[in-house]
Amino acid sequence: RIDPWVTLRSLSFPSMMTTLDQTKELFRRADAVCFDVDSTVIKEEGIDELAKFCGVGDAVREMTRKAMGGSVTFKKALTDRLSTIRCSREQVNKLITDHPPQLTPGIRELVDRLHELNIKVFLVSGGFRCIVEHVASQLNIPLQHVYANRLKFYFNGEYAGFDESQPTAESGGKGKVISMLKEQYGFKTVVMIGDGATDLEACPPASAFIGFGGNVVRPQVKERCSWFVTSFGELLKELEKI
């Protein structure tokens, strides 16, 4: 699917596009690796699972489809869909308990290996922090390395919106997070890995982008990245060269 929340600039070939060999080398000597979560680290899309669980799966899927064809901003599309879902805190907790996010095969081994090599790992997602934190804890990723959208609830647990101040609530948010990480930690080489156009858009400021098609292949991402993998085993293999 084409993601409308991506600037036209990012859909043209970057002027300094890295070659396959350069991308592989940047990955091997990365200071940090940032992973998208939905359809990358986990098999599913969090917002679709939440909508389905709250009984509005079809309606939200249709809203996503309509948004794809228009000039809707990422924030507006997120606001509209969440207003339809209107999940309570209890529903979100029950979703995580009854239908925990399914890790993509090989991700646990890859994250463990990156940690062994002292490469910092971050989860950068347009999804929801409550779900992404659950994923992070399964992968031994510190919670301060999680960047995602925060759902807000009233005292009685009813849905109260989401935190619009988070960079991930905006178009281009993943790139903003990477710029912030470079500044905060002094990282020179940061690699972004993901399945979607918003992940591709984060390079630059990411030093390199690796497209992931292990759960879903998005043609516009596959065509525009120099390294596209369909399993995390391919990345593990590359780390063996270190």
Give residue-wise pLDDT tens across range 63-97.
776 655 556 777 888 888 899 998 999 999 999 99
Token output for 209: 């982008």
Do 204 and 223 touch, CB atoms closer than 8 A? Answer: no
Please state the separation of Cα 174 from the chain's center in Å.
Answer: 8
| CA separation for the pair 65, 27 (Å, rounded) | 34
Do 74 and 5 touch, CB atoms closer than 8 A? Answer: yes
pLDDT of residue 7: 44
pLDDT of residue 35: 95
Residue 157's Cβ-side half-sphere holds a number of Cα atoms within 13 Å equal to 7
| CA separation for the pair 205, 32 (Å, rounded) | 13
Closest CA to 3 of 82, 95, 69, 88: 69
Q: Which residues are catalytic?
A: 36, 38
CA angle 105, 166, 10 (to 5 degrees): 70
End-to-end CA distance of the chain: 35
pLDDT of residue 41: 93
Token output for 219: 């043609």
pTM of the complete model: 0.85
Total Cβ atoms within 10 A of residue 232:
23
pLDDT of residue 158: 93
Please, what's the b/e burial string for 188-224 (b: 16 or more CB within 10 A of its CB; e: otherwise)?
Answer: ebbbbbbbbbbbbbbbbbbbbbbbbbbbbebebbeeb
| CA separation for the pair 65, 204 (Å, rounded) | 28
pLDDT of residue 123: 96
Q: What one-character DSSP code corresponds to residue 147?
A: E
Residues of the chain under the 50 pLDDT cut? 1-16
| CA separation for the pair 104, 142 (Å, rounded) | 19
CA of 18: how far to CAs of 13, 67, 150, 172, 226, in Å? 10, 31, 34, 20, 7
Encode pLDDT of 90-133 as tens digits: 999 999 999 888 899 999 999 999 999 999 999 999 888 988 99
